Structure 1
Amino acid sequence: MNTTARGSKALAIASLAALTLSACGGDAEDGDSVNLRFTWWGGDARHSYTQELIDAFEDEHPHITISPEFGSWEGYWDSLATQSAGRDTPDIIQMDLMYIREYIENGQLLELDQVDTSAFPEELVNTGTQDGALYGMPIGSTSLTIAANPDVFKEAGVQMPDDDTWTWEELAQIATEISENSEGAYGLARPFNDAGFEIWLRQNYGTGQVTEDGELAWEPEDAVGYFEMLGDLQDSGAIPSASQVNEDRGAALEQTLIATGGAAMDTWWNTQLISLSANEGVELVPLKLPSETGSVEDAQMYYKASMFYSVYAGTDHPEEAQLFVDFLVNSQEAGELQQLERGIPGNEDAREAIRDDLDERELRILESNEELEDIVSASPPMAPEGFSAVQEIVWRYEEEFLFGRASAEEAAQRMHGEIESALR
């Protein structure tokens, strides 16, 4: 999102915050007609099964009608901000971690005090909680992983690493060896992105990108070592050229290097490996992130809420809206239809109910996510307003450095300055 669009969105949200939000009228009783608008982003598969969920809910509650509003990620947030500024916000909103805090702080989300959270881990529920109140009901979880292609390892004559003990140095050595031994494949597809940078900061400095108060938690000098690591990977041939990295980031998911056998490793959220393995002959497996110490307990991995359901603070029907959210996260129908499409189910009962229905690839992702339960660290603080710009900023300065347009010190300084400005 460019600065102008981001500023327009923030202004639209802030303008709504100045208005007094109140539920107009009481909740409809059984027999009275209630209409709720529900908005979400996603692809065709998500749209299709979500409509089935709506139909199932309406069958159980004939007096409630759910009007669907959906589209792709591109444009979703600008559209939602425009609706919010015009006091035309849908009643139920599929919400993302990058935006939820600004919607909470601008008074647009209802406290979810009637949604049953008993089947969800407390740590996951806390990701949608601020000041003790739940504003975003987590749908599922995901975790950052190194997506690995065992076939590329085998063709290069390189053993798969022990991901309980490997270090960043070992990752670099393995990636370099694969690039040297392969024809047309790299050890590592590209840099580690903003989420990988978060992990790197946590391991090296004990803090991630932002504080609980939404302030930037690192200084420019803290990022110099990160860029120097990228420089070593570039010099050794472990990663492609800067232009190839740029091209790979702009490619469709199924055309990326990791999805086409053009790289042995890349950094992704674990549930994305299902789509990345869709091409014939490509079967990716998740590896834990390396650590500085060689101990997986120090890898500072964490569970991220895949997405949330939130309710508009100005809805005319807060009880019915929460009833629908409860259905979406707790019903058997939701678990069976959704499976892993909106993340690893946060509802532990739903997770067990679908386990036998998953294919080998999906089960591997589910089990690898569960294996982290004893080693994960606390999730990062709720992202402040403006944090949605961070991914693009980190990506850009990774490439600026790899193109040789900035030194490690310059890239760290400029990246820090831009992120700091974005969060103001």
Structure 2
Amino acid sequence: MFSKKRITAVAAIAAGTALVLSGCSGGGGATDAEPTFDPDEKVTLDFSFWGNDVRADLYNQVIAAFNEEYPNIKVNVSFLGFPEFWEKRQTEAAGGGLPDVMQFDYSYLRQYSENGLLLDLDPYLGNIIETDPLPQNILDIGVVGDVTTAIPTSTNAWGIYTNPVLLEKAGVAEFEGGSWEDYTEWMGEVTDAAAGEFWGGTDYTGRIQNLEIQLRAEGSYLFSEDGEPGFDEERLTEFWESGQVIRDGIGVPQQLLEERLPLSAFDTAIAASEPTWDNFGAGYLGNLGEGFTELGLIAPPITEEGAKDLYLKPSMLHTISAKTDHPEASAALVNFLINSPESGEIFGTNRGLPASETALEAAELDPLSQQIKDYESSIADRLGAAPPVPIVGSGTLEEKFRQLGMELNFGTITVDEAVSQFFNEMDIVLNG
């Protein structure tokens, strides 16, 4: 962590919904000259995040530690629930009054960056914002249009959670890996053995992320930097048709899924496996409750041997308003929130597995967090470069994909109809 002396010496409510944001010029003092920071200058920063009272208490502790090192920087902290947080940011963006520093979600990064609302952080990297603890592939996640506008606080990766208690009941061993067909066959074994008490899993073709990792394994992508899809109607048809055998009895019936909303089939112990982001584990254990003390976490099926189909994505990021009056002090706060040992010790994995090696070393990992850390290490040979920052409208398309998967599972729509509807939605979102 940079000390005061060192720094002185260095002298849309749904993710993806299009926002009407007022653009603004760069602002904030990012110039060709290396930024200097006077920690003795008295400044006040506004910092905003989404979360609950537990996270608010953790942030207050970290800010208190920050103020021990920087007593002249006052930080006004505010937080809201996730939907309300973005409602307020939309209002502020239209009026040009975003907070100095913000916790940020990946789905909104392109929108705010391309509208000139976020500060270019490149001049601060390597001096005020330490980069040595952050691998380059992590730093690259916050780049939009060749400009760094965000720094990830934490990462997660796609995996498959399994329920050891249900597998023991079924008398079926853990999925040992293989192709998507092998995984489907394994789910069928669990479903048959459970005899209607629970199922091997759900129709994974209802999740756009499973299509994405298949496309990445084939050398393609979900969407390019320019918003071009990396698949055609034939490829999407093939993907959704591959799920028909699951919808015909292997997977949890859609009606049961609907009855358990907002919880999932895995949360409610009627599915023995679930492909998802690895940071969902704590929520699963909390919802499963008594009698469920551990989870399995394994790599997704393999589409092509040796492919770099998986990647790390940010659980969340930190950004700075382009119109901040105090860019250097804001950068010092971002650095502390991400890289300091104090942040790792206080937050642990509340924000996900720390992206900074300095913070991660200081974090006390509970057994599940250690399991996630070990999992991400185990898939290192499958980790490729992260895809481009999500296109504007990605959240809308992901939700449409989910809804069509639900209709396929109900049997109220054919695969051809679903493909046609999705491509029509893509045309509206990408070209409308």
Instruction: Using structure 1 for the length normalisation, give the TM-score.
Output: 0.89
Contact 2:257–2:265 (CA<8 Å) still a contact in 1? no
Which of residues 233, 239, 246 in structure 2 aligns to 1:233?
246
Residue identity in the other structure for 2:316: M
Residue identity in the other structure for 1:289: P
Find the counterpart in structure 2 of residue 309 from structure 1: 318
Report matched runs for 1:11-410 at 5 Å.
11=20, 13=21, 16-17=22-23, 19-23=24-28, 29-112=38-121, 113-114=123-124, 115-163=129-177, 166-182=178-194, 183-191=196-204, 192-203=206-217, 205-235=218-248, 237-248=249-260, 250-252=261-263, 256-278=264-286, 279-282=289-292, 283-293=294-304, 295=305, 297-298=306-307, 300-354=309-363, 357-410=364-417
Tell me, what secondary structure is at the counterpart of 1:260? coil
Contact 1:80–1:89 (CA<8 Å) still a contact in 2? yes
Residue identity in the other structure for 1:292: T
Contact 2:237–2:416 (CA<8 Å) still a contact in 1? yes
In the aligned structure 2, how far is the partner of 1:202 from the partner of 1:410?
25
In the aligned structure 2, how far is the partner of 1:64 from the partner of 1:277?
39
What is the deviation of 1:198?
A: 1.5
Tell me, what secondary structure is at the counterpart of 1:307? strand
Contact 1:156–1:178 (CA<8 Å) still a contact in 2? yes
Contact 1:335–1:345 (CA<8 Å) still a contact in 2? yes
What is the CA deviation profile of residues 154-196 of structure 1, one whole-angstrom value per residue up to 9, with x for unaligned ones?
2111111223xx1111111111111111142110045351222
What is the deviation of 1:6?
A: 3.3
What is the deviation of 1:27?
A: 8.9
Alpha-carbon spacing, 1:62–1:176, altered in 2? closer, same or farther (3 Å): same
Tell me, what secondary structure is at the counterpart of 2:17? helix
Find the counterpart in structure 1 of residue 423 from structure 2: 416
In the aligned structure 2, how far is the partner of 1:149 from the partner of 1:238?
17
In the aligned structure 2, how far is the partner of 1:264 from the partner of 1:327?
40
What is the CA deviation profile of residues 299-344 of structure 1, one whole-angstrom value per residue up to 9, with x for unaligned ones?
7111112211010001010000000000011111101111112121
Tell me, what secondary structure is at the counterpart of 1:281? coil
In the aligned structure 1, how far is the partner of 2:176 from the partner of 2:220?
26
Contact 2:45–2:73 (CA<8 Å) still a contact in 1? yes
In the aligned structure 2, how far is the partner of 1:188 from the partner of 1:319?
49
Residue identity in the other structure for 2:118: L
Residue identity in the other structure for 2:277: W
Contact 2:155–2:313 (CA<8 Å) still a contact in 1? yes
Contact 1:290–1:299 (CA<8 Å) still a contact in 2? no
In the aligned structure 1, how far is the partner of 2:168 from the partner of 2:308?
26
In the aligned structure 2, how far is the partner of 1:90 from the partner of 1:313?
10
What is the deviation of 1:108?
A: 0.8
Find the counterpart in structure 1 of residue 8 from structure 2: none
Alpha-carbon spacing, 1:49–1:96, altered in 2? closer, same or farther (3 Å): same
Alpha-carbon spacing, 1:156–1:105, altered in 2? closer, same or farther (3 Å): same
What is the CA deviation profile of residues 47-103 of structure 1, one whole-angstrom value per residue up to 9, with x for unaligned ones?
220111112112221111111121111232222111110111111111121111111
What is the CA deviation profile of residues 326-376 of structure 1, one whole-angstrom value per residue up to 9, with x for unaligned ones?
00111111011111121211112322333xx32222211111112222221
Contact 1:147–1:284 (CA<8 Å) still a contact in 2? yes
Instruction: Using structure 2 for the length normalisation, give the TM-score.
Output: 0.88
In the aligned structure 1, how far is the partner of 2:350 from the partner of 2:379?
20
What is the CA deviation profile of residues 85-133 of structure 1, one whole-angstrom value per residue up to 9, with x for unaligned ones?
0111111111121111111111111111321111111111101013443
What is the deviation of 1:21?
A: 4.8
What is the CA deviation profile of residues 268-318 of structure 1, one whole-angstrom value per residue up to 9, with x for unaligned ones?
21111122112222221211000234x4x3371111122110100010100
Contact 2:252–2:270 (CA<8 Å) still a contact in 1? no
- In the alignment of these two chains, the number of paired residues is 405
What is the deviation of 1:409?
A: 1.6
Contact 2:134–2:355 (CA<8 Å) still a contact in 1? yes
Aligned-residue Cα RMSD (Å) equals 2.3
Deviates more, 1:238-247 or 1:375-384: 238-247
Tell me, what secondary structure is at the counterpart of 2:91? helix
Deviates more, 1:368-377 or 1:98-107: 368-377
Contact 1:273–1:285 (CA<8 Å) still a contact in 2? no
What is the deviation of 1:388?
A: 2.1
